[in-house]
Amino acid sequence: MDFIESWFGVSPDGGDGSLEIMWLAAIVVVVAAITFRRRIGAWLSSRSSDQR
């Protein structure tokens, strides 16, 4: 997991790969949010109407 180091020639995380893992996790979360946006919106709207 050192694609940032090989692409840009810098090692912002000291070479341990934690930055790459964070980027991949963020991409997975964004893709999941886009994929399930209708379900998430329905769930949030049902929660807000239940709290009233």
According to the model, what pLDDT value does residue 31 have?
96
Contact 35, 28 (CB under 8 A): no
How many CB atoms are closer than 10 A to CB 27? 10
According to the model, what pLDDT value does residue 47 have?
84
- The structure's pTM equals 0.65
According to the model, what pLDDT value does residue 35 have?
94
pLDDT tens for the chain, 52 residues: list them: 677 788 888 888 888 888 888 989 999 999 999 999 999 889 888 888 877 6
**Residue 25 vs residues 6, 16, 19, 45, 47: alpha-carbon distances, Å:** 20, 16, 10, 26, 26
